[in-house]
Chains A and B, each alone.
Chain A
Amino acid sequence: MTAWIVAHRTIVAAVLLFLPAPIIIVILSSFTKAGYIGFPPGELSLRWYAEFFSSADWLATLGLSTLLAALAAMLSTFVTFLGALAVTRQRLPMTQGLETLILLPLIFPHAALGVIMLGLVGIFGWTGNFLGLLLAHFILTIPYAWRPIVAAMRKHDLAVEEAAMSLGAPPFYTFRKVTLPLLRPGLVTALLFTFIISFDEVTVSLFLVGPDLSTLPVKIFSTIQDSGSPVIAAISAILIGFTIAIVFLLDRVIGLELFVAAEQRRKPTA
């Protein structure tokens, strides 16, 4: 019995060290002069941060990634919201099939999705431009918007809307004052999810970037491949900082445990 407990604790401790390890290493190396943490570690310096912030190229890429993620998040949340309204309130034929279709992109390997998107974007002549990336991210983030929005709508009691109407509120007023506020947590979760998914997306984006257009993760990837410039450490540390901010936001807005439960819902079951 105790042997089991010891084994269990050991594994847990090892994993809890293993998971944050590369992240901590990246942060540490970003502050070294060599930009590369060897052993023993070298001199400290902020030169890589200086290089990042003085590079118009990197800053523009960061801006583009943020814009792309924000637009994709808003588009997919809005379109999904409309569709989910119809599905949760109306007896439509083939609801089951529709849901399977909506979650379909989740069950494709990313490399295959990249090829699919490249083909699709090529038809519009959007290869290597922003619209192509946006279309792909829009499609990819829809399943991540769908789960939280539909869950919020199914939880929401339609009798509350009838109560508003029986008190004299016309449909649009009811929608604004009752329906929307009650769905807000689901919508916020959807926006956050889709933003993160789009901002982090790299495999599919890899197929869609062009010679003078790249997302931040793709640019990091190609820089690692080409030059291995240590400025990557600084950028990575900044992104980690962003992510820490998002985690705290999540903790505040929905709570981490709820987030885990919501995560479970977004898994591809269809």
Chain B
Amino acid sequence: MAQPDTLLTLDGVVKTFGRHRAVDGVSLAVRRGEFLTLLGPSGCGKTTILRMVAGFEHPDSGTIAIDGKPIQGIPPYRRPIGLVFQNLALFPHLTVGENIAFGLRVRRQPAETIARSVDEALALVELSGYGERRVHELSGGQRQRVALARALVIRPAVMLLDEPLGALDLKLRRQLQLELKQIQQRTGTTFIFVTHDQEEAITMSDRIAVMNGGRVEQLDTADRVYNRPTTEFVATFVGDTNLLTGRVSSVAGPTATVSVPVLGRDVPAPAGDARAGTGVRLSIRPENVRFADSASPWRMDARVLEVVYAGAAHRYTVEAGEARLLVAAPASPGTAPLAVGQRVALTWAADDAVLLAPPAGSPGR
């Protein structure tokens, strides 16, 4: 049920196109003023969810409510929602200023108010003085900001942004990510942001809903989605990880021991609610696999197969037992990377590993 600070709720929302279930029972509670990201691979139903919230599609079942009141049956133009489209959808026949003024004109605001709001909106997105330009005279980043200003100026309760940064180059993208976040905080508007870029999701969001095949797999803070994924899909989609199949051999307090056949040994992991004897999948991030020293409580032997220099870190592929693991180690200037073929000892802290339920249908060996 809606908590006091919940603004928008989706409850068991289903949408099918023909026989294809684009959205397959999604429930979400979006808090007032938060920056929530829908993250997932292409075709997982992100746009469809936004379109249902905006009123352009209608759920087959389930309800969508704002402030606890269902909005079913309210046409798009009466919903307190701002939408930034995947392709921006700026009006090509209007100037930048007229684009931004559109929603205000519809609301029959007096001309001076409109002019003032447009100027403020242009200033907010740092496009002051561009009001007379035509849309096709703008760069990609500028267009994106116009789309944002156009939606913000009507002061919507919820802003929906559908991959607004998708078409931009990396540098501009980073810059606009920051601006977008600042604007969101300054205006205090609730943002629902769609992306399939996990880095973007992590840097911008208060919370992330990771989606797959029309379902929300996990809804959590960026930190927990990354460090405490609950499903194998989340662990692999958000960042790189090593996945190992094994069986819990014993549980001692907060730590479980998992025997992993491909490694040919037991390794530690947080116990959680795992019980001895159950099949599990263990996820350990490359940067959490460390080179062991004399103080390490356990270690396993491995051999370096491949070294890639990736900016701030060296990324190694190593062979341990029959398994291949990814290891990322900070590259400090002056220290040479390990050589291919070199023998190393690896370890990790039990808390850094995550135990996941094996995906349905796979034998829990």
Check A167/B87 contact, CB under 8 A, given A162-B56, A181-B93, A182-B92: no
Instruction: Report B-chain residues with C-beta under 8 Å of the C-beta of A182.
Output: 92-93
Which chain B residue has the least Cβ–Cβ distance from A163? B89
Chain B 283-305 per-residue mask, 1 if CB under 8 angstroms from chain A, else 0: 00000000000000000000000
Check A178/B54 contact, CB under 8 A, given A167-B154, A168-B106, A173-B106: no
Instruction: Report B-chain residues with C-beta under 8 Å of the C-beta of A171.
Output: 77
Q: Name A165-196 residues within 8 Å CB distance of B.
A: 165-171, 173-174, 177-178, 181-182
Is B107 positioned at the interface, with any CB of A under 8 Å from its CB? yes
Q: Name B79-94 residues within 8 Å CB distance of A.
A: 79, 81-83, 85-87, 89-93
Check A167/B106 contact, CB under 8 A, given A162-B89, A178-B91, A182-B92: yes
Does the CB pair A163–B106 fall under 8 Å?
no
Min C-beta distance of B102 to chain A, whole Å: 5
Chain B 313-344 per-residue mask, 1 if CB under 8 angstroms from chain A, else 0: 00000000000000000000000000000000
Specify which of B78, B79, B83 is in contact with A163 (CB 8 Å cutoff). Answer: B83
Instruction: Report B-chain residues with C-beta under 8 Å of the C-beta of A168.
Output: 77-78, 103, 106-107, 154
Does the CB pair B87–A169 fall under 8 Å?
no
Does the CB pair B76–A166 fall under 8 Å?
yes
Which chain A residue has the least Cβ–Cβ distance from B156? A166
Which chain A residue has the least Cβ–Cβ distance from B80? A168
Is A160 positioned at the interface, with any CB of B under 8 Å from its CB? yes
A side interface size, CB within 8 A? 19
Does the CB pair A165–B85 fall under 8 Å?
no
Min C-beta distance of B50 to chain A, whole Å: 10
Does the CB pair A160–B89 fall under 8 Å?
yes
Which chain B residue has the least Cβ–Cβ distance from A169? B106
B side interface size, CB within 8 A? 26
Is A6 positioned at the interface, with any CB of B under 8 Å from its CB? no
Complex CA distance for A236 and B55, rounded to whole angstroms: 59
Q: Name B152-175 residues within 8 Å CB distance of A.
A: 154
Is B208 positioned at the interface, with any CB of A under 8 Å from its CB? no
Instruction: Report A-chain residues with C-beta under 8 Å of the C-beta of B86.
Output: 159
Instruction: Report A-chain residues with C-beta under 8 Å of the C-beta of B77.
Output: 165-171, 174
Is A157 positioned at the interface, with any CB of B under 8 Å from its CB? yes
Is A104 positioned at the interface, with any CB of B under 8 Å from its CB? no
Does the CB pair A159–B92 fall under 8 Å?
no
Is A164 positioned at the interface, with any CB of B under 8 Å from its CB? yes
Min C-beta distance of A175 to chain B, whole Å: 12
Complex CA distance for A171 and B78, rounded to whole angstroms: 11
Complex CA distance for A177 and B56, rounded to whole angstroms: 19
Min C-beta distance of B80 to chain A, whole Å: 9
Instruction: Report B-chain residues with C-beta under 8 Å of the C-beta of A162.
Output: 54, 56, 76, 83, 85, 89
Specify which of A157, A159, A169, A181 is in contact with B102 (CB 8 Å cutoff). Answer: A169
Min C-beta distance of A165 to chain B, whole Å: 4
Instruction: Report A-chain residues with C-beta under 8 Å of the C-beta of B106.
Output: 164, 167-170, 173
Does the CB pair A166–B87 fall under 8 Å?
no
Does the CB pair A159–B87 fall under 8 Å?
yes
Q: A160-B90, A178-B93 are in contact. List 17 more A-B contacts (CB 8 A).
A: A159-B87, A162-B83, A163-B90, A164-B102, A164-B106, A166-B76, A166-B77, A167-B103, A167-B150, A167-B151, A169-B102, A169-B103, A169-B106, A170-B106, A174-B77, A181-B93, A182-B92
17 A-B residue pairs with Cβ-Cβ distance under 8 Å, sorted by A, are A157-B87, A157-B89, A159-B87, A160-B90, A160-B92, A162-B56, A162-B76, A163-B83, A164-B102, A165-B55, A166-B82, A167-B106, A168-B103, A168-B106, A170-B106, A171-B77, A182-B92
Residues of A within 8 A of B (CB): 157, 159-160, 162-171, 173-174, 177-178, 181-182
Residues of B within 8 A of A (CB): 54-56, 75-79, 81-83, 85-87, 89-93, 102-103, 106-107, 150-151, 154
